[in-house]
Amino acid sequence: MSAAALYLTYLEEHILRGDIGFDSDSDSETDSVIDARDDNDEKDEEWDDHDHHQDRDDNEAQAQDGEDIYFGINCYSDEQCKKLFRFKSYQLWRIVRALKIPPQVQTKHGDSATAMEALCMSLYRLASTNEAYRMTAIFDYTEDAMTRITDAFLQWVVAAWDNVLEWDHCRLTPAKLEEFVQACSQKGQAPNIFGFLDRASLQLGHPFVDQGPRSKRRRREPITIHFQGIVAPDGIIVHLGLSVWGYRPKFEKIQQREIEGTLARFVGPPQGKGLSIHNDGKSQKGPQIARCIHKNQCTCAVIVEQAFNNVTYQFPSLDLMGVPRLLVSPLETQYRAAVLFANIHACLFKGGISDHFGMRPPTVEEYLNPKVFNPAVLFE
């Protein structure tokens, strides 16, 4: 409010209290003061609207020039950004460049958002638990538009960087695998172990239909999505297998064939040694899947479990128990994108796995190698 408006407010308050007296024309003068204040407020509102439209025009002009406009990421402190989006503000800029996100994210329904908006929307959706009303206040989009933007963006991320999630052949060279073998052997593992087999299961709410006959001994079982991957000593999930829906005896056979095919396809025998992975489970076994024998091996297996646990810890919206989101949200896409972001988080924040094995995790640019990026993927 300008100085003139403050002075008029001061006069009005004293006139209403009777501190300032007027002659016979006091009523008209009081009305003139009030009218002057109303006129001034209307001018202030007009100038505020003008400034708002001017800022919007400036943003549109900058967007046409190719500059990325943000929803106000610079207004948040690093602590607030880390709480809301799991990364600090300057790290978000770095992730936008490393992921090679287009300046404008457009869906087939006509929704449009900037690269930073789409990234932060998706991170906030994964990191929060059903707080769509807060998203509307932060990003100034409708709930439907944000759902379409985040779904399209996560699908694009998973499709564009699927080679990193499957097996990064550019980073996981024979020399790098040999470094993993040496780090594992120093912690009591077998001399040919380079990684650890781990899995994660996401349970949905108990279904109430299509369960078949029930007996007293069998309770209603939840629908479960099973994921399996290989965790490296540097704390990165270097391979994330396909998801399998169903119960445990069914998915273990499918996932064992999948992991054996992955090892046979990507893992070569450097220096004449056949490489293997460690498995602390009781079911899966094979020529390239070893089990723990003594205490040190079991300790390493427990520490490595932090990789998959960190995915649901950083992004608790993936805890689907009690939330019937089947056929509503792209659950597999969301989890695979969350694993990618969790690996980026491990690159920026050293965790217990890399500290335990004494290995430096890759940088964001090393992990998101442009050579494995698929530029042909379009938003849907």
Mean pLDDT confidence for 194-204: 84
Least reliable range by pLDDT among 116-120, 202-206, 311-315: 202-206
Task: Tell me the C-alpha distance between 181 and 60, whole Å.
Answer: 53
For 96-105, 306-315, 324-333, which range has the lowest pLDDT when averaged over its residues? 324-333
More confident residue, 276 or 222: 276
Beta bridge partners of 156: none
Query: How high is the pLDDT of residue 267?
Result: 80
Residue ranges of domains in the chain: 3-64, 73-160, 164-208+218-368
Residue 25: predicted pLDDT: 45
* Range 305-316 average pLDDT: 90
Please compute the mean of the pLDDT values over residues 324-346 and round it to a whole number. Answer: 83
What is the average pLDDT score of the chain?
A: 74
Confidence of residue 256 (pLDDT cuts 50, 70, 90): confident
- The pLDDT value recorded for residue 45 is 40
What are the φ/ψ torsions at residue 170 (nearest 5 degrees)? -75, -35
Q: Which DSSP letter does residue 191 get?
A: T
Least confident window among 44-53, 162-171, 301-310, 320-329: 44-53
> Taking Cα atoms as reference points, which of 251, 250, 234 lies closest to residue 242?
251
Q: What is the pTM of this model?
A: 0.75
> Residue 321's pLDDT is what?
59
With cut-offs at 50, 70 and 90, classify the pLDDT of residue 179. very high
Q: Which residue has the higher pLDDT, 276 or 337?
A: 337
Highest mean pLDDT among 115-124, 286-295, 315-324: 115-124
> Residue 70 has what pLDDT?
46
More confident residue, 190 or 206: 190
Structure tokens at 200: 């994660």
| Residues 44-57: tens digit of each pLDDT | 444 334 443 444 34
- Answer whether 82's CB lies under 8 Å from 88's CB: yes
* pLDDT > 50? residue 191: yes
Region 58-64: mean pLDDT is 41
Residues 6+ apart with CB under 8 A from 2: 40, 44
Cα torsion at 169, 171, 176, 177 (round to 10°)? -40
Mean pLDDT of 134-159: 90
Looking at residue 320, its pLDDT comes to 63
Condensed to tens digits (0 to 9), the pLDDT of residues 362-373 reads 999 999 999 999
